[in-house]
Amino acid sequence: MEITNVNEYEAIAKEKLPKMVFDYYASGAEDQWTLQENRNAFSRILFRPRILIDVSKIDMTTTVLGFKISMPIMVAPTAMQKMAHPEGEYATARAASAAGTIMTLSSWATSSVEEVASTGPGIRFFQLYVYKDRNVVAQLVRRAERAGFKAIALTVDTPRLGRRESDIKNRFTLPPYLTLKNFEGLDLGKMDEANDSGLASYVAGQIDRTLSWKDVQWLQTITKLPILVKGVLTAEDARMAVQAGAAGIIVSNHGARQLDYVPATIIALEEVVKAAQGKIPVFLDGGVRRGTDVFKALALGASGIFIGRPVVFSLAAEGEAGVRKVLQMMREEFELTMALSGCTSLKEITRNHIITDWDAPQARLVPKL
Per-residue pLDDT tens digits for 183-203 = 887 767 566 766 677 777 887
What is the arithmetic mean of pLDDT over 54-77? 98
Give the pLDDT confidence score for residue 320 in this predicted structure.
Answer: 98
User: Residue 84 in contact with residue 21, Cβ under 8 Å?
Assistant: yes
φ, ψ (nearest 5 deg) of residue 186: -105, 10
Q: How many CB atoms lie within 10 A of CB 295?
A: 27
Binding residue positions: 24, 77-79, 106, 127, 129, 155, 164, 230, 252, 254, 257, 285-289, 308-309
Q: Does 261 score more than 80 pLDDT? A: yes
Give the pLDDT confidence score for residue 138 in this predicted structure.
Answer: 95
What is the arithmetic mean of pLDDT over 52-77? 98
How far apart are the C-alpha atoms of 167 and 169, rounded to whole Å?
5
What is the arithmetic mean of pLDDT over 63-92? 98
Binding residue positions for glyoxylate: 24, 129, 164, 254, 257
Q: What does the mean pLDDT of the chain come to?
A: 94
Active site residue 353: no
Give the pLDDT confidence score for residue 187 in this predicted structure.
Answer: 65
Q: Does 66 score more than 70 pLDDT? A: yes
What is the arithmetic mean of pLDDT over 42-60? 98
The percentage of the chain sitting over the pLDDT mark of 70, rounded to a whole number, equals 95
Those residues whose C-beta lies under 8 Å from the C-beta of residue 244, and which sit 6 or more positions away, are 213, 216, 217, 229
SS3 of the chain? CCCCCCCHHHHHHHHHCCHHHHHHHHCCCCCCHHHHHHHHHHHHEEECCCCCCCCCCCECCEEECCEEECCCEEECCCCCHHHCCCCHHHHHHHHHHHCCCCEEECCCCCCCHHHHHCCCCCCEEEEECCECCHHHHHHHHHHHHHCCCCEEEEECCCCCCCCCHHHHHCCCCCCCCCCCHHHHHHCCCCCCCCCCCHHHHHHHHHECCCCCHHHHHHHHHHCCCCEEEEEECCHHHHHHHHHCCCCEEEECCHHHCCCCCCCCHHHHHHHHHHHHCCCCCEEEECCCCCHHHHHHHHHCCCCEEEECHHHHHHHHHHHHHHHHHHHHHHHHHHHHHHHHHCCCEHHHCCHHHEEECCCCHHHCCCCCC
The string of pLDDT tens digits covering residues 193-245 is 666 777 778 877 888 899 999 999 999 999 999 999 999 999 999 999 999 99
pLDDT band at 39 (very low <50, low <70, confident <90, very high): very high
pLDDT band at 299 (very low <50, low <70, confident <90, very high): very high
The string of pLDDT tens digits covering residues 319-367 is 999 999 999 999 999 999 999 999 999 999 999 999 999 887 655 555 5
Q: pTM for the complete prediction?
A: 0.95
Among 52-61, 66-75, 166-175, 308-317, the minimum mean pLDDT is found in 166-175
What is the arithmetic mean of pLDDT over 122-127? 98
Q: Report the interhelical angle of 265-276 vs 33-40 (nearest 10°).
A: 70
Give the pLDDT confidence score for residue 186 in this predicted structure.
Answer: 79
Terminal C-alpha separation, the chain:
41
Binding residue positions for FMN: 77-79, 106, 127, 155, 230, 252, 285-289, 308-309
Q: Does 304 score more than 70 pLDDT? A: yes
Give the pLDDT confidence score for residue 195 in this predicted structure.
Answer: 67
pLDDT band at 282 (very low <50, low <70, confident <90, very high): very high
Q: How many CB atoms lie within 10 A of CB 265?
A: 31
Give the pLDDT confidence score for residue 201 in this predicted structure.
Answer: 83
Give the pLDDT confidence score for residue 198 in this predicted structure.
Answer: 73
Give the pLDDT confidence score for residue 200 in this predicted structure.
Answer: 73
φ, ψ (nearest 5 deg) of residue 185: -75, -10
- The one catalytic residue among 39, 94, 254, 324: 254
How far apart are the C-alpha atoms of 273 and 301, rounded to whole Å?
6
Domains and their CATH numbers in the chain:
6-355 (3.20.20.70)
